[in-house]
Amino acid sequence: MTLIPEHMDLSMENPKQGPLPLYVGMYELDSTPLHFHDHVEFSLVIEGSGTETVNGKTHRLRPGVASFMLPNQMHCIRSDSGRRILKYCCTFDINILLNTAYASDWCEPLYQIGSRLPSSVELSPDEAKWLYDIFQKLMLESSPSLSPGRDSIICAMLLEGMLRFIRAASNLQTSEAHPATIASKQPIWRVLQYLHAHYRDSVSLEELSRHFNVSVSYISRLFKQHMGITFLDYLHQLRIESAANLLTSTQMSIIDIAAQSGFESVRTFTRVFQSVKGATPSDFRSTMLRNRDK
């Protein structure tokens, strides 16, 4: 039987709380199926224990553990016997936080969550209390209201909670960035934001240049300057990481995984996968499953 991750349309499961693309609540659960969605998911465990698997990597859940999932990251939860998980959970469109002049200051670590940075962090008691208070305030503020500044307050609280997670995940030392540095970084993060949302489509340098109204050579220079690799290498990394997650988390066929990850042919997919991972997709899947069963 083929296990296919479910795409969850969050707007159908939860009533939208006001004009913002935001859903926040407290949930008690035994388990969730392997799924993904188009919004960010940010949560904090209050009670219970179990495991959460994100992109094939499993971590423990217990009170004080915060999790952050970017769009299209596959995840599921299993609670321990008799230990149902109670957690705050907030899902929202990341774009509501990306329209400030200083977004580029935190976009780099944001897009590293789930790869270079972990998807979950066990917070200290003080950090957990701080985030708990933020979720409580979000619950109160997100109820339908015509209060002046409601949306701005919600966005400010979301941003604070997200930045506290990023700090805990990366142990970054805060320092004052020079405004010129921030300005110079900003264009690449908007390109990355677009690419992370469309990497499974037939995206190209030419399409990016048209979308952002800049030259192809300018986009190429941005990738080399800020990411240290070419556009194509970055695109391949996104697609291969997505494929690797599907190989280890599902029983989907390699043909289906190639298509789901944005490759037009299995031959190209296999060649690129072996170049990035050092093994064919089938060998990679076999090795990962054997290691998991040990």
Encoding tokens for residue 200? 């499974």
Mean pLDDT of 174-203: 62
| CATH 2.60.120.280 domain residues, the chain | 6-170
* Cα separation, 147 vs 157, whole angstroms: 16
- CATH hierarchy code of domain 178-294: 1.10.10.60
Alpha-carbon distance values, 142 to 20, 119, 152, 271, 291 (Å): 9, 25, 11, 48, 44
Q: pLDDT tens-digit profile of 80-95?
A: 999 999 999 999 888 7
Query: Is the confidence at residue 172, as pLDDT, over 60?
Result: no
Q: What is the model's pLDDT at position 142?
A: 84
Query: What percent of the chain has pLDDT above 70?
Result: 82
Strands of the 85-92 sheet, one edge to the other: 22-29, 85-92, 40-47, 65-69, 120-122
Within a 13 Å sphere around the CA of 216, how many CA atoms are in the beta-carbon half? 6
| CATH 1.10.10.60 domain residues, the chain | 178-294
Q: pLDDT tens-digit profile of 109-162?
A: 887 887 778 999 999 999 999 999 999 999 999 877 767 888 889 999 999 999
Query: Is the confidence at residue 232, as pLDDT, over 80?
Result: yes
Query: What percent of the chain has pLDDT above 90?
Result: 46
Q: pLDDT tens-digit profile of 251-261?
A: 889 999 999 89
Which homologous superfamily does the CATH classification assign to the domain defined by 6-170?
Regulatory protein AraC (2.60.120.280)
Mean pLDDT of 248-252: 80
Query: Is the confidence at residue 9, as pLDDT, over 70?
Result: no
**E strand segments, the chain:** 6-7, 22-29, 31-36, 40-47, 50-54, 57-61, 65-69, 75-79, 85-92, 120-122
Q: What is the model's pLDDT at position 161?
A: 95
